[in-house]
Structure 1
Amino acid sequence: MNASTNRPKKIAAIVTEYRHNSHAEVIVGRLLGDMGYQPSVEVVSLYTDQVPVNDMSREVAARCGIPIYPTIAEAVRAGHCQEPIDGVVIIGEHGDYPMNERGQMMYPRRRFLEETLVTLDYLGLAVPIFSDKHLAYNYNDAVWMFSQLKARKIPFMGGSSIPHCDHIPTFNEQNLRSLREILVISSGGLEAYGIHAMEVMQSLAERREGGETGVRSIRLLGGSGDETWSAMDRGEWPEDLLLQALKAIPGVPDAHPRELEPEPALFIVDYMDGTKGYIIQFKRLVEQWSFAFRNGQGRVTAALCDSDLERPFAHFERLTRMIENFIISGKEPFPPERILLTTGMISFAMDSLFEGRKLETPCLGITYRL
């Protein structure tokens, strides 16, 4: 075995900002050996799009002996290394970026990927790429990004940490084969946290018999007045699944959530095969994600996604290990179509809220199997 196959895989990290508790710190920081993590890969270059007053990147880079390059192209080229990089980690989350009229943070994820691909093309490389959370705030950008990755046959992994959390209690995933309804509980900002709930829902829904068939329509009621509760009264979403999912979250007050949270948001997802998906997004009632689903036999299963609320955020350690294994092996841990689909789901949901109506989504007829 030659020396090049013995050495750790080398990674270029492209981030919006690197500060305390940012996604860059809890992922790239681990890859640099911080937070008690023992990395199996080597970060050899860094690009930061912004440098806030509480920036950590300069101190960390100096301590670890890695350069911070002024451009993405230079970070990907990593000219100080004798051998080319083996992978790219893109963290387009956090930072001071504008918000559009639809309430979406305009993170430069397409620009990050586009500049990365131009440089990889120049170098003649097709190395694995991880991109944090959803592909882009704009679905047309996401389709372009996905198609460019596919055209180059570049292994791709995206998404967040929450779908990979342990389920408490555990359950027989065979119950998902005949899934007919699923409800996910979430909290926080509609796009930034709604995408976590979309990914949780999709990571379960994709396991139904026949695989994924795509999404027919999306509706988002944004929490103005009591729209969500009125829709429940009309039988438009299943109250029993909400109550079962809430029971899975520790510390939730023993009262009907209607009394505790007057204006939650409601996402309604109609799948092509008739499966129904719902997300109830609270503003303050909960801090974790849980779900309940009903299968074809009428059986209801509920569980908590066991994410941590405090440092060191073990769910990010699990995600980081998945990223490492992906870059080392070049094997995608799940179909990347999941990320394209959930990107479309959250994008059209924000469009639905802006336009005040249900949107038909024939372009989300995305099919895949695990």
Structure 2
Amino acid sequence: MSKPLRIGIIAGEASGDILGAGLIKSLRARYPDAIIEGIGGPLMIEQGFTSHFPMERLSVMGLVEVLGRIRELIGIHRKMYRHFKENPPDVFIGIDAPDFTLRMEKKLKLLGIPTAHYVSPSVWAWRKKRIFKIKESTDLMLTLLPFESKFYQQHQMKECFVGHPLADDIEMNPDRNEACQALGLDVNRPVVGILPGSRGGEIKYIGATLLRAADQIKAVIPEVQLVLPAANELRRTQIEAIQTMSGIGKDIHIVDGQSRTVMAASDVIALASGTATLEAALHKRPIVVVYKMASLTFSIAKRIVKIDYVSLPNLLANKALVPELIQDDATPENISAEVLDRLQHPEKYKSVVDEFYGIHTLLQQGGNEKAATAVLALIGK
């Protein structure tokens, strides 16, 4: 009797959990008895994944912030490497979190274990020489965006453009009325989605700013419905603490999870930069992108990042489709002004929404299936 297929996966944050869950589902459809383990989130665990550490422990943002957790991260890395060395997988897949996963890939590759990396690091934007480390560490790069594939082809590295699974999961025309009803909202009143991010550091730096912006929007349009999906219980507690201590954002309706339902219900979305910006674009809603980080982290990043845009919709379009309010520009006044303009003059942003349809079509590639096929091909399955 042949041994079951063993697959190692480490995902570092909420967006990686989504990708990992879709990949696992496609792998299990072909190999139902596969042993799939490592570090992942609740969506991956729902697909029969065994997580040896809470994924939350890897979700650290910023160069400075990592330093405070470096000991713990090194400890987790050592334990997982030891586990995979003693229980070698047929293939290992690192999903995003490149500082953590690429190190693991390199060490496992030296043991003769085939490795794949899902979600390209922003090597095309900064520290381009990392391509040599990536080639040393991984046998296959699974890319979500077409311009990433071109970069790896130029450097003669094996890659597969799989598109973005979010484009497969999200309907081309999400039903706003249905989403409003699911959340108990009045379909005849405007809705603004407030998404401060899934990581503690994101809430720390932009949570209060977004809550103050929400208050300013409410002051101008009293009938507006403000909805904030908390990524998990920890984030809800963090947001509620800001409300209690500062007395701001009292009119915001906090829901547990349901970020996609909130996006579908919204007329305008104000959100943290990250994968959620693409998700919002795929819902065809006007977006205002916000981001802040530690001052030292920002000053370092400003010197080394060589791109014109930070949000995925703008990067894919290669133009400023959506406003990006970063660091000092991320004020409650600027955020509320951008949101209010989109609420009060939706006709001005119809062309932007039309561009979002083009992005959706471009990324709709059957990502989960393509990723599973490429990973299995890597090990001759």
TM class by shorter-chain length? 0.3 to 0.5
TM-score, normalized by length of structure 1?
A: 0.37
With a CA cutoff of 8 Å and minimum separation of 6, indicate the structure with the bigger relative contact order: 1
TM-score, normalized by length of structure 2?
A: 0.37
